[in-house]
C-alpha cells in the first residue's frame, strides 16, 4: 500500500475538478471583467444589451401629436402645456396597435397632485392654483367643470 | 514508504491550498489584466449623471408614477425606483419628513403619514420636496459587495443588475447608503433605478424626466459639455447626498438643505 | 396583493416616523441563525482541537464528540443562507463566479475548505474503526449488514492498512489538520463578522471589531453547545441504563454519566472566551458613545430605548452576567452548569439578534425606526423560510444529522 494519507486530498482534488468542469459548462463565456476593474466591472457582458433592448413605454408628446393634433394644439395653448399627454392618458406603449385605446385617468387624485393647496413658503407649489380637496366640490370629478385641456377659469 | 513529518505537513498544506482553489483560477486570471481594464475605461465616451432642482419640485409625484409603469415595478407594491420626500421644517427647529407610497400619488394633504399629526401651516419655516433615485455612484458600494458579479457598473457609469445571475442575498440592498435597492416582487432579484437605461440607449430621456412638468429632473452626459444639465453641474454650486460614504454619487442637487437625509 | 407579488420584508416590517420607501428588514431571522450556526461550528471545532493539538487529554471524549458534532453542524451553517436567498437554486453562483471584493463571495471557498478539513480529520480519527468494521462484517449474511459493510468500504477510501506505522501516520495527520483547522474555523467565523462589519452604510454594523467579537462569541457558543449536548446525552445514557438494569446492577456503575472534571475544565476555557467577548462588545459600545459620530443619536435611541430590554436585560443580563456568576460561584454541579450553558447559548443568540435585527432597527435616513415582527404562521413559503418554523427546522437539523452520522461514526464511545 502506498501512502494512504493522500487519499482525502485526492477526494478533495476530485471535488474541485468536478466543480471546475461544471463551471466551464454553466457559466456564460462572456462573463468576466468588462468595466474599469474587477471590483465594479465583473459581469456577463450581454446583460447590458438585454437592458438596452427593453421597450420604452412612454413615447412622449410628439408621438401623440402625430395623430391627435387637435388635442395637442388645445393643450399647447393652455397653461397645461407643460404636462405630458401620457401623465393623464397613460403610457402609449404601441398604441394604437397595442393597446387600441388608452384609459384616461380622470380621478380627482390626479388633479390634486398639483392642485391640492399646500401653501408652503418659497415653493413653486404655493404658486399653483390650489383648492382644499375636502371643501371644494368633494365627490365630483374635476373634469365635470374644468376642461383639463383648457383649464383657465375664464373658459369655463 | 516512510514519510517525514515535514513532508506530510507540506502535502497537507498543498491539499488545503488546492481545496481553497475552486473557481479561483479562471476568474483570477481575467481580473489581473490591467490592459483590458484600461482599454475599457478609455472606450467610454459617456458618463450619465442626473440633476435634480429641488427648487422646482412641487411634489406631484408624476415621476414616480411614470417610473413604476415604465419599469414594471408593481404599482401597488410599496417599493419604488424613485420617490419624492417632503420636508417641513417648523419654527421649533424640528423637521417633519414623509413620503407616502413614495409619493406615487403625489402630496395631496397636509397630514403626515405614520405620525397622524397635522403640521400647522403657520408653524412652517421652510418646506420643500426632494426627489430621490439611484445615485449611479462612481464607486458603488452595492457593486463591491455583490458576491456573484450580478450587479455591475457599465462603461457609461450606470449600475445595472443581471436578473439571470442575481442570487437574491440582499447584500447590495444592505450596502447602499441611499436605500434605493429592493427585491423586485415579481422577479425575486435585487432591483433599482437604472436611469431608464433602455430609454437612454434609444436617445430618449428617462421616464421621470419626461413626466416632470416643472423641469425639476434632468438627465445628462457629464462628458458632453454642451448638455444643458451638464453645464449647470459644471458651473453652478451643486451638492450630492451622503458623500461621507465615499461612493461618489452622480445625482447632483440644486437647493439641497442640511435637513435632507 | 396576489401570491406572486410579495414584497420581501413588507410582511414583517413595521415602520415608524420617516423610513425610505424601499427600506425593510431584509435580513431577518435566517440571517440571525446564520452567524449563530456558523459560530457553533467554529466553536465545536476549536473545542475538539483543544485535545488534538494542545493535548488536553482529559477532554478526549468530549473532543471526539465535538469533532463529529461540528460535522453535523456544518451543513446547517449553510441552511439558513439557502432559506434566505430569493433564488436558492442559484446559490452555486457563489462558487462559479465569485466576486472576491464581496465578503460573501469567499463563503463557498472558505466553507468548503473547512468542510474538507473536518471531513479529513474525522476520516483519520475513525479510519481504524472503519477498517475494523469492514473486517468484522465480512461474513455477515443479512442484507442490511452487507450494505453497512459496503458503506464502511467506501468510507475507508480503500485504505485498509492498519499497521502501527499507518496508525501513527493517521495520528500525525489528525494533529496537523486540527492545527490548520483552528485558524480556518476562526477565519470562517471571523469573516462572518466581516460580512457585517464591512457594511459602511450600516452605522451599527460598521466596526473593525466586529469580526473579532464574532469569533469570540462563536467560540463561546460552540463550546457551550458541545458541553450541553454532551451532558444531556451522557446523562440520558446513564439514566436509561439505570432504568433498564435497575440500580443494583454493576454495569450501571461503569456507565457513569458525565465526568465533572471534564466539564470543569471546559468551563474554564468557556469563561475565558466569554470575558474576551464581553470586553470587546463593551469596548465597541463605549467607543461609539464617546466618539458620538453622526449616527450616535439614532444608535443611542435604538440601544437605550427601543432595544434596551433585548440588549441589556436579555443579552448582557440573562445571557452573559447571570451564567458568568453561576459558573464562577464555587461548587457548580452538573445541573447548575447545564442551566448556565443554556443561558450562554441564549445570550449569544440574542447578541446575533441584536446585531442583525438591531442593525436594521433604524432607517438609513436616521429619522425613523423599523420593528421586526417575526413571522410565525406561514401564509406562504417565504413566511416559512424566513419565520420561526424555518429557524426551528435549522436548529433541529444538526441533531438529526448527528443521530445519523453517529450510526456510522461512534463518537460517544468511551475510550
How do the pLDDT tens digits run along chain C, 415 residues long? 444 588 888 888 898 889 999 999 999 899 998 888 888 888 788 778 878 777 767 677 778 888 888 888 888 888 898 889 999 999 899 999 999 999 888 878 888 888 889 899 889 988 989 998 888 888 878 888 888 888 898 988 888 888 888 888 888 888 888 888 888 888 877 878 889 999 999 999 999 999 899 888 888 888 888 888 878 877 877 787 777 776 666 655 555 556 777 788 888 888 999 999 999 999 999 999 999 988 899 999 999 988 899 999 999 999 999 999 998 888 778 888 999 999 999 999 999 999 999 999 999 999 999 999 888 888 888 888 888 998 999 989 988 998 998 888 887 776 5
Task: Answer yes or no: are the C-beta atoms of C202 and C355 closer than 8 Å.
Answer: no
| Per-residue three-class SS string for B72-109 | CCCCCCCCCCCEEEEEEEECCCCEEEECHHHHCCCCCC
CA distance B78 to chain A (A): 18
pLDDT-derived band of residue B1, with 50, 70 and 90 as boundaries? very low
Q: Which residues contact C266 (CB under 8 A, 6 or more apart)?
A: C47, C59, C62, C223, C226, C227
Substitution target from B16, B153, B190 for chain A, most A beta carbons within 10 A: B153
Residues in B closer than 8 angstroms to A42, CB to CB, are 27, 31, 149, 152
pLDDT at B120 over 70: yes
- For chain A, how are helix, strand and coil distributed in percent, rounded to 5? 45, 10, 45
Chain C neighbors of B145, CB-CB under 8 A: 101-104, 198-199
For B140-191, CATH gives 3.30.70.20
B100 interfaces chain A, CB cutoff of 8 Å? no
Q: From the list A3, A8, A39, which residue is nearest C120 (CB)? A: A8
Predicted local confidence at residue B17, as pLDDT: 47
Q: Is the separation of the CB atoms in C28 and C352 below 8 Å?
A: no
Nearest CB neighbour to C94, from listed B147, B185, B261: B147
Task: Taking the CA atoms of C44, C401, B16 and C213 in sequence, report the sign of the dihedral they define.
Answer: negative
Contact A7/C95, CB-based, under 8 Å? no
Q: How many domains does one find in chain C?
A: 1
C-alpha grid cell, residue B117 = 399629526
Nearest residue in B to A1, CA atom: B1
Is residue B200 scored above 70 in pLDDT? yes
The shortest C-alpha distance from C37 to chain A (Å) reads 24
* Chain A nearest C-alpha distance from C91 (Å): 13
Q: List the grid coordinates of C365.
A: 435616513
Q: Does B177 touch chain C (CB under 8 A)?
A: yes
ipTM above 0.85, yes or no: yes
Within 160-179 of C, beta carbons closer than 8 Å to A belong to 160-161, 166, 169-170, 173
Within-domain flag for C306 = yes
Interface of C with B in 196-215 (CB under 8 A): 198-202
Residue C224 sits in a domain of what CATH number? 1.20.1630.10
Candidates A1, A4, A33, A47, partner chain C, best to mutate (most C CBs within 10 A)? A4
Taking the CA of residue B192 and the nearest CA in chain A, the distance in Å comes to 13
Q: A114-123, B155-164, C61-70: which has the minimum mean pLDDT?
A: C61-70
Residue whose C-alpha cell reads 459600545 in the numeric block: C285
Name which of A5, A12, A39 is nearest C169 (Cβ-Cβ). Answer: A5
Considering only CB atoms, B177 lies closest to which of C10, C113, C364, namely C364
Choose among A33, A88, C22, A50: nearest CA to B65: A88
How far is it, in rounded angstroms, from Cα A117 to Cα A130?
Answer: 4
pLDDT for res B123: 85
Of B3, B21, B139, Cβ closest to residue A3: B3
Please, are residues B135 and C81 in contact by the beta-carbon 8 Å criterion?
Answer: no
Indicate left, alpha or beta for C387 from its phi (over 0: left) and psi (-120 to 50: alpha). beta
Q: Do B148 and C17 touch (CB under 8 A)?
A: no
| C71: Cβ contacts below 8 Å, ≥ 6 apart | C118, C119, C122, C405
Q: By residue range, what is the domain housing residue C75?
A: 24-408
- Chain A, nearest residue to C97 by Cα: A27
Hey, are the CB atoms on B185 and C8 less than 8 Å from each other?
Answer: yes
Q: Does B160 touch chain A (CB under 8 A)?
A: yes
Residue B164 has pLDDT above 90, yes or no: yes
Contact C12, C374 (CB under 8 A): yes
Give the predicted TM-score (pTM) of the model.
0.86
Structure-block grid coordinates of residue B113 = 403619514
Which residue from B minimizes the CA distance to C20?
B179
Which 225-244 residues of chain B touch chain A by CB within 8 A?
A: none
pLDDT of the residue at C361: 92
| Residue B214 contacts A where some CB pair is shorter than 8 Å | yes
State the pLDDT at residue C136: 87
CA distance B155 to chain C (A): 18
Neighbours of B236 (CB within 10 A): 11
Chains that touch C (3 or more CB pairs under 8 A): A, B
With CA atoms as reference, the chain A residue closest to C117 would be A8
Cβ distance B115 to C17 less than 8 Å, yes or no, reads: yes
Question: What integer pLDDT is reported at residue B38 of this predicted model?
Answer: 53
Nearest chain A residue to C98 by CA distance is: A42
Is the CB of C158 less than 8 angstroms away from the CB of A7? Answer: yes
**Does pLDDT of B32 surpass 70?**
no
A residues 88..147 contacting B (CB < 8 A): 90-91, 109, 112-114, 116, 118-125, 128, 133
Residues 333-392 of C with CB under 8 A from B: 363-368
Query: Are B261 and C113 within 8 A, CB to CB?
Result: no
Dihedral angle over CA of A74, A77, A80, A86, nearest 10: 40
Are C39 and C189 a contacting pair, CB within 8 Å?
A: yes
Please tell me the distance from the alpha carbon of residue B227 to that of residue B78, in angstroms, as a whole number.
34
The reply to whether residue B78 touches residue C7, judged by beta carbons under 8 angstroms, is: yes
Average the pLDDT over B57-74 and give the result.
Answer: 94
pLDDT confidence of residue A113: 92
Q: How far is CA C130 from the centre of its chain?
A: 28
Residue of B nearest to C359 (CA): B174
- Which residue of chain B has the CA closest to A126? B58
Residue A53 near residue B202 (C-beta atoms within 8 A):
no
Element (H or E) spanning A33, and its range? strand A31-33
pLDDT for B254 beyond 90: yes
Of all residues in chain B, the percent with pLDDT exceeding 90 is 72
C162 at the B interface (CB within 8 A)? no
CB contact under 8 A, A37 and B153: no
Helix axis angle, C29-52 to C60-84, nearest 10°: 160
Q: Closest CB to C116: pick one of A12, A19, A23.
A: A12
Q: Which of A7, A11, A39 to mutate to test the interface with C (most CBs of C within 10 A)?
A: A7
Mean pLDDT is highest, among A78-82, B135-139, C163-167, C389-393, for B135-139
- The residue among B258 and A150 whose pLDDT is bigger is B258
Q: What is the pLDDT of residue C255?
A: 53
pLDDT for B33 equals 52
Angle C29-52/C260-291 helices, nearest 10 degrees? 130
Domain boundary assignment for chain B: 140-191
Closest B-chain CA to A10 = B15
Asked if A58's CB is within 8 angstroms of B58's CB, the reply is no
Whether C224 contacts C341, CB under 8 Å: yes
Residue A27 with chain C: CB contacts under 8 Å? 96-97
Residue C26 phi/psi, 5-degree rounding, is -75, -30
CA dihedral C271, C272, C275, C280 (to 10 degrees): -140
**Nearest beta carbon to residue A58 from set B23, B107, B210:** B210
- By the CB < 8 Å criterion, does B121 face chain A? yes
For B21, the 3-state DSSP assignment is coil
**CA dihedral (A131, A133, A135, A138) positive or negative:** positive
Amino acid at each position: 500500500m502506498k501512502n494512504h494519507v493522500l487519499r482525502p486530498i485526492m477526494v478533495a482534488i476530485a471535488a474541485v475538478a468536478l466543480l471546475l468542469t461544471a463551471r466551464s459548462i454553466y457559466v456564460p463565456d462572456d462573463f468576466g471583467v468588462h468595466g474599469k476593474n474587477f471590483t465594479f466591472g465583473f459581469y456577463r457582458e450581454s446583460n447590458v444589451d438585454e437592458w438596452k433592448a427593453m421597450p420604452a413605454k412612454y413615447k412622449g408628446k410628439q408621438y401623440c401629436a402625430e395623430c391627435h393634433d387637435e388635442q395637442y394644439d388645445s393643450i399647447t395653448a393652455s397653461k397645461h402645456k407643460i404636462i405630458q399627454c401620457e401623465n393623464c392618458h397613460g403610457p402609449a406603449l404601441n398604441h394604437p396597435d397595442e393597446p387600441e385605446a388608452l384609459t384616461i385617468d380622470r380621478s380627482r387624485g390626479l388633479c390634486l397632485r398639483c392642485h391640492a393647496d399646500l401653501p408652503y413658503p418659497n415653493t413653486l407649489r404655493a404658486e399653483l392654483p390650489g383648492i382644499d380637496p375636502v371643501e371644494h366640490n368633494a365627490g365630483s370629478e374635476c373634469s365635470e367643470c374644468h376642461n383639463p385641456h383648457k383649464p383657465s377659469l375664464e373658459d369655463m | 514508504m516512510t514519510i517525514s513529518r515535514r513532508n506530510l505537513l507540506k502535502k497537507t498544506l498543498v491539499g488545503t491550498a488546492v481545496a481553497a482553489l475552486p473557481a479561483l483560477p479562471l476568474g483570477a486570471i481575467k481580473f489581473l489584466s490591467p490592459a483590458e481594464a484600461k482599454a475599457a475605461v478609455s472606450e467610454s465616451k459617456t458618463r450619465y449623471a442626473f440633476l435634480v432642482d429641488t427648487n422646482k419640485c412641487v411634489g406631484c409625484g408624476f415621476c414616480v408614477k411614470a417610473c413604476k409603469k415604465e419599469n414594471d415595478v408593481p404599482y401597488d407594491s410599496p417599493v419604488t425606483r424613485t420617490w419624492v420626500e417632503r420636508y417641513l421644517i417648523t419654527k421649533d427647529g424640528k423637521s417633519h419628513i414623509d413620503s407616502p407610497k413614495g409619493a406615487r400619488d403625489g402630496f395631496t394633504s397636509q397630514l403626515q403619514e405614520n405620525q397622524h399629526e397635522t403640521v400647522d401651516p403657520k408653524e412652517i419655516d421652510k418646506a420643500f420636496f426632494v426627489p430621490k433615485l439611484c445615485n449611479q455612484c462612481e464607486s458603488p458600494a452595492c457593486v463591491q459587495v455583490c458576491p456573484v458579479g450580478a450587479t455591475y457598473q457599465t462603461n457609461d457609469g450606470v449600475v445595472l443588475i443581471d436578473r439571470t445571475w442575481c442570487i437574491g442575498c440582499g447584500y447590495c440592498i444592505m450596502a447602499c447608503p441611499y436605500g434605493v435597492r429592493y427585491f423586485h416582487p415579481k422577479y425575486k432579484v435585487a432591483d433599482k433605478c437604472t436611469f431608464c437605461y433602455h430609454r437612454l440607449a434609444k436617445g430618449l430621456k428617462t421616464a421621470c424626466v419626461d413626466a416632470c412638468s416643472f423641469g425639476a429632473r434632468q438627465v445628462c452626459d457629464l462628458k458632453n459639455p454642451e448638455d444643458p444639465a451638464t453645464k449647470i453641474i459644471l458651473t453652478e454650486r451643486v451638492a450630492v447626498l451622503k458623500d461621507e460614504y465615499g461612493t461618489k454619487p452622480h445625482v447632483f442637487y440644486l437647493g439641497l438643505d442640511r435637513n435632507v437625509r | 396583493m396576489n401570491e406572486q407579488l410579495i414584497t420581501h420584508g413588507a410582511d414583517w416590517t413595521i415602520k415608524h416616523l420617516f423610513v425610505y420607501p424601499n427600506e425593510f428588514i431584509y435580513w431577518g431571522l435566517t440571517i440571525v441563525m446564520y452567524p449563530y450556526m456558523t459560530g457553533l461550528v467554529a466553536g465545536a471545532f476549536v473545542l475538539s482541537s483543544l485535545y488534538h493539538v494542545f493535548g488536553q487529554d482529559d477532554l478526549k471524549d468530549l473532543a471526539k464528540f465535538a469533532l463529529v458534532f461540528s460535522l453535523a453542524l456544518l451543513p446547517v451553517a449553510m441552511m439558513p443562507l439557502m432559506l434566505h436567498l430569493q433564488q436558492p437554486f442559484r446559490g452555486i453562483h457563489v462558487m462559479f463566479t465569485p466576486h472576491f471584493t464581496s465578503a460573501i463571495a469567499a463563503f463557498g471557498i472558505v466553507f468548503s475548505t473547512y468542510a474538507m478539513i473536518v471531513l479529513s480529520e474525522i476520516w483519520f480519527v475513525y479510519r481504524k474503526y472503519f477498517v475494523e468494521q469492514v473486517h468484522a462484517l465480512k461474513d455477515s449474511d443479512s442484507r442490511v449488514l452487507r450494505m453497512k459493510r459496503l458503506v464502511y468500504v467506501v468510507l475507508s477510501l480503500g485504505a485498509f492498512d492498519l499497521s502501527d506505522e499507518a496508525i501513527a501516520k493517521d495520528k500525525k495527520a489528525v494533529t496537523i489538520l486540527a492545527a490548520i483547522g483552528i485558524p480556518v474555523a476562526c477565519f470562517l467565523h471571523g469573516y462572518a463578522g466581516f460580512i457585517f462589519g464591512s457594511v459602511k452604510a450600516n452605522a451599527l454594523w460598521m466596526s473593525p471589531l466586529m469580526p473579532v467579537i464574532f469569533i469570540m462569541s462563536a467560540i463561546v457558543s460552540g463550546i457551550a453547545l458541545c458541553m450541553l449536548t454532551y451532558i444531556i446525552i451522557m446523562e440520558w445514557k446513564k439514566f436509561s441504563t439505570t432504568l433498564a438494569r435497575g440500580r443494583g446492577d454493576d454495569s450501571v456503575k461503569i456507565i457513569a454519566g458525565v465526568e465533572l472534571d471534564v466539564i470543569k475544565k471546559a468551563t474554564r476555557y468557556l469563561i475565558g472566551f466569554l470575558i474576551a467577548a464581553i470586553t470587546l462588545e463593551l469596548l465597541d459600545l463605549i467607543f461609539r458613545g464617546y466618539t458620538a459620530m453622526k449616527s450616535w443619536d439614532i444608535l443611542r435611541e435604538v440601544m437605550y430605548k427601543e432595544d434596551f430590554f433585548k440588549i441589556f436585560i436579555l443579552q448582557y443580563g440573562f445571557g452573559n452576567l447571570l451564567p458568568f456568576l453561576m459558573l464562577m460561584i464555587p461548587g457548580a454541579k452538573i445541573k447548575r452548569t447545564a442551566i448556565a450553558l443554556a443561558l450562554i447559548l441564549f445570550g449569544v443568540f440574542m447578541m446575533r439578534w441584536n446585531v442583525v435585527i438591531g442593525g436594521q432597527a433604524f432607517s438609513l435616513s436616521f429619522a425613523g425606526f423599523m420593528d421586526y415582527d417575526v413571522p410565525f404562521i406561514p401564509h406562504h413559503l417565504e413566511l416559512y423560510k424566513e419565520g420561526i418554523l424555518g429557524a426551528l427546522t435549522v436548529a433541529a437539523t444538526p441533531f438529526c444529522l448527528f443521530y445519523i452520522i453517529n450510526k456510522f461514526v461512534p463518537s460517544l464511545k468511551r475510550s
